[in-house]
Amino acid sequence: MNSVSPSAVQYAGGVMHNELVDGRRQQSGAQQGSYGLRPPQSPDPSKEEEPEEMDKLKAKIMSAWNNVKYGWTVKSKTTFNKVSPVTLLGYSYLLCSEDQVEQFRMAFVSRIWLTYRREFPQLEGSSWTTDCGWGCMLRSGQMLLAQGLVVHLLPRDWTWPDAQQLTDVDFEVFRTRSPVRVGGVPIPSFGSPRVNGTPEKILPSDPTLRPSQRKRSESTRDRQAEPIHHKLLTWFGDQPPAPFGVHQLVGIGRSFGKKAGDWYGPSIVAHILRKAVAKTTVVHNLVVYVAQDCTVYKEDVAHLCDPSFSQTPPEPDNQVWKSVIILVPVRLGGEALNPSYIECVKNILKLECCIGIIGGKPKHSLYFVGFQDEQLLYLDPHYCQPVVDVTQVNFPLESFHCTSPKKMPFTRMDPSCTIGFYARNKKDFESLCSAVSLALSSSAEKYPIFTFVEGQGQDYGLEGQSSNHSGQVPHILPPGKSGRVHNRRHSDDFVFL
CA distance linking residue 142 with residue 347, whole number of Å: 23
Q: How far apart are CA 453 and CA 303, in angstroms?
A: 14
384 counts as catalytic:
no
356-386 burial, b if ≥16 CB within 10 A, otherwise e? bbbbbbbbbbbbbbbbbeebbbbbbbbbbbb
Tell me how far apart the terminal alpha carbons of the chain are, to the nearest angstrom: 43
Q: Do 472 and 265 touch, CB atoms closer than 8 A?
A: yes
486 belongs to the catalytic site: no
Give Cα separations from 256 to 243, 271, 461 (angstroms): 18, 9, 10
Catalytic residue among 247, 271, 382, 475: 382
Query: Which helix (H) or strand (E) is 252 found in, with range?
Result: helix 246-253
φ/ψ of residue 184, rounded to 5: 90, -15
Coil/strand/helix, residue 130: strand
* Residue of 305, 380, 402, 433 with catalytic role: 380
- Bridge partners for 330 per DSSP: 417
- Residue 248 to residue 253: CA distance in whole angstroms: 9
In whole angstroms, give the CA distance from residue 355 to residue 90.
Answer: 9
Element (H, E) at 408: strand 406-409
Q: Which of 255, 330, 316, 265 is nearest to 494 (CA)?
A: 330
Question: Active-site residue 132, yes or no?
Answer: no
**Which ranges constitute the DSSP H helices of 298-395?**
298-305, 342-349
**Cβ pair 257, 466 in contact under 8 A:** yes
Neighbouring residues of 46: CB distance < 8 A, sequence distance ≥ 6: none
H or E stretch including 18?
helix 17-30
Q: How far is CA 431 from CA 62, 316, 484, in A?
A: 48, 17, 21
Distance of CA 341 to the CA centre of its chain: 19
Element containing residue 100 per DSSP (H, E): helix 98-109
Active site residues: 136, 380, 382
